[in-house]
Amino acid sequence: MEDDTIAAEKKRPSQAAIMRAERVSPKKDKGQNFLKDPATARKIVESAGIGPGDRVCEIGPGLGALTLDLARSARTLIAVEWDRDLAAILARRLESEGIRNARIIREDILLLDFGELARMAGGPLVVVGNLPYYLSSPILVKIVTERASVTRAVLMFQKELARRIAAPPGSRDYGRVSVLAQYAARLRTVARVNRDQFIPAPSVDSEVIELDFSAPPEFPARSESVFFDVVKAAFGKRRKMLKNSLAASELGLDARQVDAALDRAGIAPTRRAETLSLAEFAALSDAVMDEAKSDVI
Ligand code: SAM
Compute CA distances 60 → 1, 19, 82, whole Å.
Answer: 33, 16, 7
Q: Which ranges in the chain are annotated with CATH 1.10.8.100?
A: 224-296
Q: From 154, 161, 156, 158, select the one nearest 185 (Cα to Cα).
A: 154
Q: What is the distance between the alpha carbons of residues 45 and 43, in angstroms, rounded to a whole number?
A: 5
70, 82, 135, 142, best to mutate for ligand 1 pocket (most atoms within 8 Å of CB): 82
pLDDT by 10s per residue, the chain, length 297? 334 444 445 567 888 999 999 999 999 999 999 999 898 899 999 999 999 999 999 999 999 999 999 999 999 999 999 999 999 999 999 999 999 999 999 999 999 999 999 999 999 999 999 999 999 999 999 999 999 999 999 999 999 999 999 999 999 999 999 999 999 999 999 999 999 999 999 999 999 999 999 999 999 999 999 999 999 999 987 678 999 999 988 888 899 999 999 999 999 999 999 999 999 999 999 999 998 877 654
Q: What is the distance between the alpha carbons of residues 213 and 248, in angstroms, rounded to a whole number?
A: 32
Q: What is the distance between the alpha carbons of residues 33 and 86, in angstroms, rounded to a whole number?
A: 13
Question: Could you tell me the sign of the dihedral formed by the alpha carbons of 260, 296, 179, 238, in that order?
Answer: negative
HSE of 141 in the Cβ direction (CA atoms, 13 Å)? 13
Q: How far is the CA of 51 from the centre of ligand 1 (A)?
A: 23
Coil/strand/helix, residue 64: coil
44, 58, 130, best to mutate for ligand 1 pocket (most atoms within 8 Å of CB): 130
End-to-end CA distance of the chain: 73
Reported as a single tens digit per residue, the pLDDT across 240-272 is 899 999 998 888 889 999 999 999 999 999 999
The architecture of the domain spanning 2-212 is: 3-Layer(aba) Sandwich (3.40)
Q: What are the strands, taking DSSP E only, across the chain?
A: 34-35, 55-59, 76-81, 102-106, 125-130, 150-158, 186-193, 198-199, 206-212
Coil/strand/helix, residue 148: helix
42, 81, 110, 112, best to mutate for ligand 1 pocket (most atoms within 8 Å of CB): 81
Pocket lining: 137 vs ligand 1, CB cutoff 6 Å? no
CB atoms under 10 Å from CB of 23, counted, come to: 7
Q: Which ranges in the chain are annotated with CATH 3.40.50.150?
A: 2-212
CA 292 to chain centre: 31
Pocket lining: 80 vs ligand 1, CB cutoff 6 Å? yes
Q: What is the distance between the alpha carbons of residues 248 and 236, in angstroms, rounded to a whole number?
A: 9
User: To the nearest whole percent, how much of the chain has pLDDT over 70?
Assistant: 95
Reported as a single tens digit per residue, the pLDDT across 272-284 is 999 999 999 999 9
Q: From 153, 165, 110, select the one nearest 128 (Cα to Cα).
A: 153
Instruction: Tell whether domain 224-296 is in CATH 3.40.190.10.
Output: no
Q: What is the distance between the alpha carbons of residues 202 and 193, in angstroms, rounded to a whole number?
A: 11
